[in-house]
Structure 1
Protein backbone atom coordinates (compact mmCIF):
# COMPACT_ATOMS: atom_id res chain seq x y z
CA UNK A 1 0.00 0.00 0.00
CA UNK A 2 3.04 2.27 -0.32
CA UNK A 3 1.33 4.58 -2.81
CA UNK A 4 -1.98 4.74 -0.91
CA UNK A 5 -3.06 7.84 1.04
CA UNK A 6 -5.27 7.73 4.14
CA UNK A 7 -6.92 10.62 5.96
CA UNK A 8 -7.54 9.76 9.63
CA UNK A 9 -9.65 12.10 11.76
CA UNK A 10 -9.48 12.13 15.53
CA UNK A 11 -5.90 10.95 15.06
CA UNK A 12 -4.42 12.54 18.16
CA UNK A 13 -5.35 9.73 20.55
CA UNK A 14 -7.26 6.51 21.11
CA UNK A 15 -8.65 4.61 18.16
CA UNK A 16 -7.47 7.21 15.66
CA UNK A 17 -3.86 7.01 16.83
CA UNK A 18 -3.92 3.21 16.89
CA UNK A 19 -5.33 3.06 13.35
CA UNK A 20 -2.77 5.59 12.08
CA UNK A 21 0.07 3.48 13.47
CA UNK A 22 -1.35 0.28 12.01
CA UNK A 23 -1.83 1.83 8.56
CA UNK A 24 1.68 3.29 8.65
CA UNK A 25 3.02 -0.19 9.40
CA UNK A 26 1.35 -1.28 6.17
CA UNK A 27 3.05 1.45 4.17
CA UNK A 28 0.17 3.92 3.93
CA UNK A 29 0.94 7.62 3.65
CA UNK A 30 -1.04 9.49 6.29
CA UNK A 31 -2.87 12.76 6.70
CA UNK A 32 -3.71 13.15 10.39
CA UNK A 33 -6.54 15.42 11.52
CA UNK A 34 -7.59 16.56 14.98
CA UNK A 35 -8.16 19.72 16.96
CA UNK A 36 -4.90 19.72 18.96
CA UNK A 37 -1.60 20.12 17.09
CA UNK A 38 0.67 18.56 19.71
CA UNK A 39 -1.04 15.14 19.92
CA UNK A 40 -1.22 15.01 16.12
CA UNK A 41 2.51 15.59 15.84
CA UNK A 42 3.06 12.90 18.49
CA UNK A 43 0.96 10.45 16.46
CA UNK A 44 2.94 11.33 13.34
CA UNK A 45 6.17 10.59 15.19
CA UNK A 46 4.87 7.29 16.54
CA UNK A 47 3.56 6.24 13.14
CA UNK A 48 6.78 7.02 11.27
CA UNK A 49 6.83 6.99 7.50
CA UNK A 50 5.16 9.78 5.56
CA UNK A 51 2.65 11.57 7.78
CA UNK A 52 1.19 15.07 7.50
CA UNK A 53 -0.47 16.56 10.60
CA UNK A 54 -3.26 19.04 9.83
CA UNK A 55 -5.02 20.56 12.87
CA UNK A 56 -8.70 20.52 11.94
CA UNK A 57 -12.10 21.18 13.47
CA UNK A 58 -14.21 18.71 11.50
CA UNK A 59 -17.41 20.65 12.32
CA UNK A 60 -16.10 23.60 10.29
CA UNK A 61 -16.67 23.24 6.52
CA UNK A 62 -13.83 25.61 5.69
CA UNK A 63 -11.38 23.66 7.88
CA UNK A 64 -12.47 20.34 6.37
CA UNK A 65 -11.99 21.65 2.84
CA UNK A 66 -8.52 22.87 3.83
CA UNK A 67 -7.71 19.41 5.25
CA UNK A 68 -8.49 17.60 2.03
CA UNK A 69 -6.84 20.27 -0.10
CA UNK A 70 -3.68 19.79 2.00
CA UNK A 71 -3.90 16.02 1.51
CA UNK A 72 -4.11 16.33 -2.28
CA UNK A 73 -1.46 19.06 -2.44
CA UNK A 74 0.96 16.85 -0.49
CA UNK A 75 0.19 13.39 -1.82
CA UNK A 76 -1.85 13.88 -4.99
CA UNK A 77 -4.94 11.87 -4.03
CA UNK A 78 -7.05 10.37 -1.22
CA UNK A 79 -7.60 6.61 -1.15
CA UNK A 80 -9.06 6.20 2.33
CA UNK A 81 -10.94 8.26 4.88
CA UNK A 82 -11.20 6.82 8.36
CA UNK A 83 -14.01 8.99 9.72
CA UNK A 84 -13.19 8.62 13.39
CA UNK A 85 -13.53 11.97 15.22
CA UNK A 86 -16.27 11.86 17.86
CA UNK A 87 -17.25 12.41 21.47
CA UNK A 88 -19.64 10.81 23.95
CA UNK A 89 -20.61 13.85 25.98
CA UNK A 90 -21.45 13.74 29.69
CA UNK A 91 -24.08 11.14 30.75
CA UNK A 92 -27.23 13.21 31.22
CA UNK A 93 -30.91 12.41 31.75
CA UNK A 94 -33.02 13.31 28.73
CA UNK A 95 -34.94 15.99 30.60
CA UNK A 96 -31.74 17.73 31.70
CA UNK A 97 -29.79 17.70 28.43
CA UNK A 98 -29.14 21.25 27.27
CA UNK A 99 -29.51 22.31 23.66
CA UNK A 100 -25.83 23.26 23.37
CA UNK A 101 -24.76 19.89 24.81
CA UNK A 102 -26.97 18.14 22.24
CA UNK A 103 -25.57 20.24 19.41
CA UNK A 104 -21.95 19.70 20.44
CA UNK A 105 -22.27 15.91 20.25
CA UNK A 106 -24.39 15.79 17.09
CA UNK A 107 -22.28 18.40 15.29
CA UNK A 108 -19.08 16.44 15.92
CA UNK A 109 -20.31 12.88 15.52
CA UNK A 110 -22.69 13.38 12.60
CA UNK A 111 -22.15 16.71 10.85
CA UNK A 112 -18.38 16.37 11.13
CA UNK A 113 -18.53 12.86 9.69
CA UNK A 114 -20.71 14.10 6.83
CA UNK A 115 -18.43 17.03 6.00
CA UNK A 116 -15.35 14.80 5.88
CA UNK A 117 -17.14 12.13 3.86
CA UNK A 118 -18.40 14.73 1.40
CA UNK A 119 -14.94 16.21 0.91
CA UNK A 120 -13.39 12.75 0.48
CA UNK A 121 -16.16 11.70 -1.92
CA UNK A 122 -15.47 14.70 -4.14
CA UNK A 123 -11.77 13.88 -4.42
CA UNK A 124 -12.34 10.17 -4.94
CA UNK A 125 -14.86 10.83 -7.69
CA UNK A 126 -12.60 13.20 -9.61
CA UNK A 127 -9.16 11.61 -9.15
CA UNK A 128 -7.59 9.14 -11.53
CA UNK A 129 -7.53 6.24 -10.96
CA UNK A 130 -11.05 6.92 -9.72
CA UNK A 131 -12.39 5.69 -6.39
CA UNK A 132 -11.48 5.10 -2.79
CA UNK A 133 -12.89 3.90 0.51
CA UNK A 134 -14.61 5.61 3.44
CA UNK A 135 -14.75 3.81 6.79
CA UNK A 136 -17.00 5.38 9.41
CA UNK A 137 -16.46 4.78 13.11
CA UNK A 138 -19.91 3.87 14.40
CA UNK A 139 -20.29 2.33 17.84
CA UNK A 140 -22.10 -0.39 19.72
CA UNK A 141 -24.45 2.54 20.37
CA UNK A 142 -25.36 2.44 16.68
CA UNK A 143 -27.23 -0.76 17.69
CA UNK A 144 -28.26 -0.36 21.33
CA UNK A 145 -28.06 2.62 23.72
CA UNK A 146 -26.40 3.17 27.01
CA UNK A 147 -28.45 4.90 29.72
CA UNK A 148 -28.39 8.70 29.59
CA UNK A 149 -26.74 8.88 26.17
CA UNK A 150 -29.48 10.17 23.86
CA UNK A 151 -27.30 12.57 21.84
CA UNK A 152 -24.49 10.06 21.31
CA UNK A 153 -26.88 7.22 20.52
CA UNK A 154 -28.94 9.27 18.07
CA UNK A 155 -25.81 10.50 16.32
CA UNK A 156 -24.36 7.00 15.97
CA UNK A 157 -27.63 5.61 14.63
CA UNK A 158 -27.50 8.42 12.08
CA UNK A 159 -23.94 7.47 11.11
CA UNK A 160 -25.34 4.11 10.01
CA UNK A 161 -27.64 5.94 7.60
CA UNK A 162 -24.69 7.98 6.40
CA UNK A 163 -22.75 4.79 5.72
CA UNK A 164 -25.58 3.22 3.76
CA UNK A 165 -26.16 6.32 1.63
CA UNK A 166 -22.46 6.75 0.88
CA UNK A 167 -22.18 3.11 -0.09
CA UNK A 168 -25.08 3.42 -2.51
CA UNK A 169 -24.15 6.78 -3.99
CA UNK A 170 -20.51 5.77 -4.36
CA UNK A 171 -21.12 2.69 -6.50
CA UNK A 172 -20.84 4.45 -9.90
CA UNK A 173 -17.49 5.96 -8.91
CA UNK A 174 -15.73 2.97 -7.27
CA UNK A 175 -16.19 4.51 -3.83
CA UNK A 176 -16.79 1.86 -1.17
CA UNK A 177 -18.10 2.68 2.29
CA UNK A 178 -18.10 0.59 5.43
CA UNK A 179 -18.63 1.05 9.16
CA UNK A 180 -16.88 -0.41 12.18
CA UNK A 181 -18.93 -0.54 15.37
CA UNK A 182 -16.58 -0.68 18.34
CA UNK A 183 -17.38 -1.78 21.87
CA UNK A 184 -15.14 -1.03 24.86
CA UNK A 185 -11.75 -0.56 23.25
CA UNK A 186 -9.28 0.47 25.93
CA UNK A 187 -8.63 4.20 25.35
CA UNK A 188 -8.76 7.37 27.42
CA UNK A 189 -12.43 7.66 26.44
CA UNK A 190 -13.25 4.30 28.06
CA UNK A 191 -10.92 4.55 31.08
CA UNK A 192 -13.84 4.95 33.49
CA UNK A 193 -15.25 1.54 32.53
CA UNK A 194 -12.86 -0.34 34.80
CA UNK A 195 -14.15 1.69 37.77
CA UNK A 196 -17.79 1.28 36.81
CA UNK A 197 -20.39 2.74 34.46
CA UNK A 198 -24.17 2.90 34.60
CA UNK A 199 -26.01 -0.20 33.41
CA UNK A 200 -29.51 -0.56 31.97
CA UNK A 201 -30.92 -1.51 35.38
CA UNK A 202 -29.37 1.54 37.06
CA UNK A 203 -26.45 -0.26 38.70
CA UNK A 204 -22.90 1.06 38.42
CA UNK A 205 -20.67 -1.84 37.37
CA UNK A 206 -17.24 -2.29 35.80
CA UNK A 207 -17.05 -3.52 32.22
CA UNK A 208 -14.32 -5.43 30.39
CA UNK A 209 -12.32 -3.76 27.65
CA UNK A 210 -10.20 -4.98 24.74
CA UNK A 211 -6.89 -3.88 23.24
CA UNK A 212 -7.37 -0.96 20.84
CA UNK A 213 -4.79 -2.62 18.57
CA UNK A 214 -7.41 -5.24 17.71
CA UNK A 215 -9.64 -2.46 16.40
CA UNK A 216 -6.79 -1.04 14.36
CA UNK A 217 -6.06 -4.37 12.71
CA UNK A 218 -9.71 -4.71 11.75
CA UNK A 219 -9.75 -1.25 10.16
CA UNK A 220 -6.61 -2.05 8.22
CA UNK A 221 -8.18 -5.27 6.93
CA UNK A 222 -11.22 -3.31 5.72
CA UNK A 223 -8.99 -0.63 4.19
CA UNK A 224 -6.79 -3.00 2.24
CA UNK A 225 -9.55 -4.92 0.48
CA UNK A 226 -9.68 -4.29 -3.27
CA UNK A 227 -12.40 -1.81 -4.20
CA UNK A 228 -14.34 -4.67 -5.77
CA UNK A 229 -14.88 -6.00 -2.23
CA UNK A 230 -16.35 -4.30 0.82
CA UNK A 231 -17.26 -4.96 4.44
CA UNK A 232 -20.32 -2.72 4.86
CA UNK A 233 -20.64 -3.31 8.62
CA UNK A 234 -18.57 -5.07 11.23
CA UNK A 235 -18.66 -5.14 15.03
CA UNK A 236 -15.54 -5.51 17.18
CA UNK A 237 -16.11 -5.63 20.93
CA UNK A 238 -14.79 -6.87 24.23
CA UNK A 239 -16.15 -10.41 24.36
CA UNK A 240 -17.77 -10.20 27.79
CA UNK A 241 -19.13 -6.65 27.64
CA UNK A 242 -22.88 -6.09 28.05
CA UNK A 243 -24.10 -5.80 24.49
CA UNK A 244 -26.29 -8.73 23.54
CA UNK A 245 -27.86 -8.45 26.96
CA UNK A 246 -27.52 -4.73 27.45
CA UNK A 247 -31.24 -3.99 27.57
Structure 2
Protein backbone atom coordinates (compact mmCIF):
# COMPACT_ATOMS: atom_id res chain seq x y z
CA UNK A 1 0.00 0.00 0.00
CA UNK A 2 1.27 3.47 -0.83
CA UNK A 3 1.22 6.40 1.56
CA UNK A 4 -0.20 9.88 1.24
CA UNK A 5 3.31 11.24 1.49
CA UNK A 6 4.97 9.46 -1.43
CA UNK A 7 2.38 7.53 -3.48
CA UNK A 8 4.30 8.18 -6.70
CA UNK A 9 7.89 7.15 -7.42
CA UNK A 10 8.68 10.84 -7.97
CA UNK A 11 7.14 11.81 -4.62
CA UNK A 12 4.35 13.92 -6.10
CA UNK A 13 1.17 14.39 -4.05
CA UNK A 14 -2.20 15.40 -5.46
CA UNK A 15 -4.90 17.24 -3.50
CA UNK A 16 -8.36 18.70 -4.07
CA UNK A 17 -9.26 21.63 -1.82
CA UNK A 18 -12.85 22.88 -1.90
CA UNK A 19 -13.70 26.41 -0.89
CA UNK A 20 -10.15 27.30 -1.93
CA UNK A 21 -10.90 30.90 -2.88
CA UNK A 22 -10.91 32.33 0.64
CA UNK A 23 -10.40 31.74 4.34
CA UNK A 24 -9.31 28.34 5.60
CA UNK A 25 -9.44 26.83 2.12
CA UNK A 26 -7.09 29.44 0.73
CA UNK A 27 -4.70 29.09 3.66
CA UNK A 28 -4.60 25.29 3.36
CA UNK A 29 -4.22 25.35 -0.42
CA UNK A 30 -1.33 27.80 -0.18
CA UNK A 31 0.36 25.71 2.52
CA UNK A 32 0.11 22.58 0.37
CA UNK A 33 1.33 24.36 -2.76
CA UNK A 34 4.30 25.83 -0.88
CA UNK A 35 5.33 22.36 0.32
CA UNK A 36 5.29 20.55 -3.00
CA UNK A 37 1.73 19.37 -3.44
CA UNK A 38 -0.16 19.73 -6.70
CA UNK A 39 -3.56 21.17 -5.84
CA UNK A 40 -6.90 21.38 -7.66
CA UNK A 41 -8.52 24.57 -6.37
CA UNK A 42 -12.31 24.33 -6.27
CA UNK A 43 -14.79 27.11 -5.58
CA UNK A 44 -17.66 29.07 -7.05
CA UNK A 45 -15.63 32.12 -8.14
CA UNK A 46 -12.74 31.48 -10.55
CA UNK A 47 -11.25 34.92 -9.90
CA UNK A 48 -10.68 34.22 -6.21
CA UNK A 49 -9.27 30.78 -7.03
CA UNK A 50 -6.81 32.45 -9.40
CA UNK A 51 -5.81 34.77 -6.54
CA UNK A 52 -5.11 31.73 -4.38
CA UNK A 53 -3.01 30.14 -7.12
CA UNK A 54 -1.06 33.39 -7.50
CA UNK A 55 0.06 33.21 -3.86
CA UNK A 56 2.46 30.42 -4.90
CA UNK A 57 3.03 31.20 -8.59
CA UNK A 58 5.68 28.53 -9.25
CA UNK A 59 3.57 25.69 -7.84
CA UNK A 60 1.38 23.26 -9.77
CA UNK A 61 -2.28 24.21 -9.37
CA UNK A 62 -5.48 23.66 -11.31
CA UNK A 63 -8.46 26.05 -11.03
CA UNK A 64 -11.89 24.43 -11.36
CA UNK A 65 -15.07 26.46 -10.88
CA UNK A 66 -17.24 24.28 -8.65
CA UNK A 67 -20.47 24.55 -6.73
CA UNK A 68 -20.19 21.53 -4.44
CA UNK A 69 -23.97 21.34 -4.06
CA UNK A 70 -24.30 20.48 -7.76
CA UNK A 71 -23.62 16.86 -8.71
CA UNK A 72 -22.49 17.77 -12.20
CA UNK A 73 -19.99 20.31 -10.87
CA UNK A 74 -18.48 17.79 -8.46
CA UNK A 75 -18.19 15.19 -11.23
CA UNK A 76 -16.47 17.74 -13.47
CA UNK A 77 -14.06 18.71 -10.65
CA UNK A 78 -12.85 15.17 -10.13
CA UNK A 79 -12.76 14.42 -13.86
CA UNK A 80 -10.55 17.48 -14.38
CA UNK A 81 -8.29 16.54 -11.46
CA UNK A 82 -7.79 12.94 -12.54
CA UNK A 83 -7.46 14.00 -16.17
CA UNK A 84 -4.63 16.32 -15.21
CA UNK A 85 -2.85 14.33 -12.50
CA UNK A 86 -3.96 10.71 -12.88
CA UNK A 87 -4.72 10.10 -9.21
CA UNK A 88 -5.85 11.71 -5.94
CA UNK A 89 -4.10 11.55 -2.58
CA UNK A 90 -6.04 14.08 -0.53
CA UNK A 91 -9.46 15.72 -0.42
CA UNK A 92 -9.82 18.64 1.98
CA UNK A 93 -13.59 18.91 2.22
CA UNK A 94 -13.79 22.55 3.27
CA UNK A 95 -16.50 24.40 1.32
CA UNK A 96 -19.21 25.69 3.62
CA UNK A 97 -21.51 28.53 4.56
CA UNK A 98 -22.86 29.80 7.86
CA UNK A 99 -26.13 30.95 6.34
CA UNK A 100 -28.08 33.96 7.57
CA UNK A 101 -26.59 35.02 10.90
CA UNK A 102 -28.59 35.78 13.99
CA UNK A 103 -31.92 34.45 12.70
CA UNK A 104 -34.12 32.79 15.33
CA UNK A 105 -35.24 29.23 14.59
CA UNK A 106 -38.85 30.25 14.05
CA UNK A 107 -37.87 32.85 11.45
CA UNK A 108 -35.36 30.80 9.43
CA UNK A 109 -36.75 30.20 5.95
CA UNK A 110 -36.74 26.71 4.50
CA UNK A 111 -34.78 27.98 1.50
CA UNK A 112 -32.06 29.28 3.81
CA UNK A 113 -32.00 25.95 5.68
CA UNK A 114 -31.75 24.02 2.42
CA UNK A 115 -28.90 26.21 1.13
CA UNK A 116 -26.80 25.52 4.22
CA UNK A 117 -27.57 21.78 4.15
CA UNK A 118 -26.89 21.53 0.41
CA UNK A 119 -23.50 23.23 0.74
CA UNK A 120 -22.19 21.97 4.07
CA UNK A 121 -23.54 18.42 4.14
CA UNK A 122 -24.65 17.35 0.68
CA UNK A 123 -21.63 19.01 -0.91
CA UNK A 124 -19.28 17.29 1.51
CA UNK A 125 -20.90 13.95 0.77
CA UNK A 126 -20.73 14.39 -3.00
CA UNK A 127 -17.04 15.31 -2.89
CA UNK A 128 -16.19 12.53 -0.44
CA UNK A 129 -18.06 9.99 -2.57
CA UNK A 130 -16.17 11.04 -5.71
CA UNK A 131 -12.83 10.95 -3.87
CA UNK A 132 -13.67 7.56 -2.31
CA UNK A 133 -14.47 6.05 -5.72
CA UNK A 134 -11.17 7.27 -7.14
CA UNK A 135 -9.05 6.26 -4.15
CA UNK A 136 -10.57 2.77 -4.03
CA UNK A 137 -9.68 1.99 -7.65
CA UNK A 138 -6.37 3.78 -8.22
CA UNK A 139 -2.93 2.17 -8.07
CA UNK A 140 -1.41 2.44 -5.53
CA UNK A 141 -4.78 2.29 -3.82
CA UNK A 142 -5.93 4.57 -1.01
CA UNK A 143 -5.77 8.20 0.02
CA UNK A 144 -6.98 10.61 2.68
CA UNK A 145 -10.10 12.70 3.21
CA UNK A 146 -10.10 15.51 5.78
CA UNK A 147 -13.45 17.11 6.57
CA UNK A 148 -13.66 20.63 7.98
CA UNK A 149 -16.01 20.21 10.91
CA UNK A 150 -15.94 23.26 13.23
CA UNK A 151 -16.29 23.36 16.97
CA UNK A 152 -19.98 23.76 16.10
CA UNK A 153 -19.76 20.00 15.52
CA UNK A 154 -19.62 19.85 19.34
CA UNK A 155 -21.27 22.99 20.72
CA UNK A 156 -23.63 25.45 18.99
CA UNK A 157 -23.64 29.19 18.98
CA UNK A 158 -26.97 30.92 19.54
CA UNK A 159 -29.18 31.15 16.45
CA UNK A 160 -27.10 28.80 14.30
CA UNK A 161 -29.44 25.84 13.88
CA UNK A 162 -28.72 25.08 10.22
CA UNK A 163 -24.94 25.46 10.49
CA UNK A 164 -24.75 23.48 13.74
CA UNK A 165 -26.96 20.67 12.43
CA UNK A 166 -24.80 20.24 9.33
CA UNK A 167 -21.57 20.27 11.32
CA UNK A 168 -22.89 17.62 13.73
CA UNK A 169 -23.85 15.61 10.64
CA UNK A 170 -20.32 15.94 9.28
CA UNK A 171 -19.05 14.10 12.34
CA UNK A 172 -21.25 11.15 11.41
CA UNK A 173 -20.10 11.38 7.80
CA UNK A 174 -16.47 11.34 8.95
CA UNK A 175 -16.95 8.30 11.15
CA UNK A 176 -18.85 6.33 8.50
CA UNK A 177 -16.35 7.14 5.76
CA UNK A 178 -13.47 6.26 8.05
CA UNK A 179 -14.97 2.86 8.85
CA UNK A 180 -15.96 2.04 5.28
CA UNK A 181 -12.59 3.19 3.92
CA UNK A 182 -10.48 0.82 6.01
CA UNK A 183 -10.39 -2.08 3.54
CA UNK A 184 -9.18 0.24 0.77
CA UNK A 185 -6.50 2.26 2.55
CA UNK A 186 -8.71 5.37 2.70
CA UNK A 187 -8.04 7.32 5.90
CA UNK A 188 -10.68 9.86 6.93
CA UNK A 189 -10.39 12.46 9.66
CA UNK A 190 -11.95 15.75 10.74
CA UNK A 191 -10.52 19.07 11.85
CA UNK A 192 -12.73 21.18 14.10
CA UNK A 193 -11.71 24.81 13.94
CA UNK A 194 -12.59 27.63 16.31
CA UNK A 195 -12.15 31.32 15.49
CA UNK A 196 -9.51 31.29 12.78
CA UNK A 197 -9.10 34.81 11.42
CA UNK A 198 -11.00 34.86 8.10
CA UNK A 199 -13.67 37.00 6.48
CA UNK A 200 -16.29 34.64 7.93
CA UNK A 201 -15.06 35.29 11.49
CA UNK A 202 -14.41 39.04 11.20
CA UNK A 203 -17.46 39.72 13.35
CA UNK A 204 -15.80 37.93 16.29
CA UNK A 205 -13.54 40.91 16.88
CA UNK A 206 -16.38 43.43 16.81
CA UNK A 207 -18.67 41.43 19.10
CA UNK A 208 -20.76 38.29 18.75
CA UNK A 209 -23.84 37.00 20.56
CA UNK A 210 -23.06 34.73 23.53
CA UNK A 211 -25.18 31.98 25.08
CA UNK A 212 -26.18 34.23 28.00
CA UNK A 213 -27.52 36.89 25.65
CA UNK A 214 -24.57 39.24 25.99
CA UNK A 215 -22.40 40.42 23.08
CA UNK A 216 -18.65 40.03 23.45
CA UNK A 217 -15.48 40.22 21.43
CA UNK A 218 -13.72 36.90 20.97
CA UNK A 219 -10.06 36.13 20.32
CA UNK A 220 -9.03 34.72 16.95
CA UNK A 221 -5.99 32.82 15.68
CA UNK A 222 -4.02 32.89 12.44
CA UNK A 223 -5.49 30.69 9.70
CA UNK A 224 -1.91 29.66 8.83
CA UNK A 225 -1.78 27.70 12.09
CA UNK A 226 -4.83 25.73 10.95
CA UNK A 227 -3.22 25.15 7.55
CA UNK A 228 -0.11 23.63 9.09
CA UNK A 229 -2.28 21.29 11.14
CA UNK A 230 -4.14 20.13 8.03
CA UNK A 231 -0.84 19.49 6.26
CA UNK A 232 0.41 17.44 9.20
CA UNK A 233 -2.76 15.32 9.03
CA UNK A 234 -2.38 15.01 5.26
CA UNK A 235 1.23 13.84 5.34
CA UNK A 236 0.83 11.04 7.83
CA UNK A 237 1.33 7.58 6.31
CA UNK A 238 -1.99 5.95 5.51
CA UNK A 239 -1.36 3.46 8.28
CA UNK A 240 -1.90 6.34 10.75
CA UNK A 241 -4.87 8.67 11.09
CA UNK A 242 -5.79 11.71 13.16
CA UNK A 243 -9.49 10.94 13.55
CA UNK A 244 -10.57 14.23 15.18
CA UNK A 245 -8.47 17.31 15.82
CA UNK A 246 -9.63 20.53 17.47
CA UNK A 247 -7.68 23.72 16.74
CA UNK A 248 -8.99 26.90 18.32
CA UNK A 249 -8.04 30.33 19.55
CA UNK A 250 -6.79 29.61 23.05
CA UNK A 251 -8.96 32.16 24.84
CA UNK A 252 -12.24 31.73 23.00
CA UNK A 253 -15.37 30.85 25.00
CA UNK A 254 -15.65 27.15 24.24
CA UNK A 255 -13.94 25.08 26.93
CA UNK A 256 -15.87 24.90 30.19
CA UNK A 257 -18.47 27.62 30.67
CA UNK A 258 -16.98 30.48 28.69
Other-structure match for 2:19:
10
Other-structure match for 2:207:
196
Asked if 1:25 corresponds to 2:34, the answer is yes
Other-structure match for 2:194:
183
Asked if 1:244 corresponds to 2:252, the answer is no
Matched residues, number:
247
Other-structure match for 2:95:
85
Other-structure match for 2:155:
144
Equivalent residue in structure 1 for 2:77, among 67, 71, 77: 67
Asked if 1:37 corresponds to 2:66, the answer is no
In 1, Cα distance between equivalents of 2:18 and 2:257: 29
In 2, Cα distance between equivalents of 1:157 and 1:62: 26
Alpha carbon RMSD of aligned pairs, Å?
Answer: 0.9
Asked if 1:230 corresponds to 2:241, the answer is yes
In 1, Cα distance between equivalents of 2:180 and 2:133: 12
Equivalent residue in structure 1 for 2:62, among 45, 48, 52: 52
Counterpart of 1:47 in 2: which secondary structure?
Answer: coil
Structure 2 residue ranges without an equivalent (≥5): 6-10
In 2, Cα distance between equivalents of 1:221 and 1:209: 21
Structure 1 residue ranges without an equivalent (≥5): none
Counterpart of 1:108 in 2: which secondary structure?
Answer: helix
In 2, Cα distance between equivalents of 1:60 and 1:235: 29
Which 10-residue stretch deviates more, 85-94 or 235-244? 85-94
Counterpart of 2:39 in 1: which secondary structure?
Answer: strand
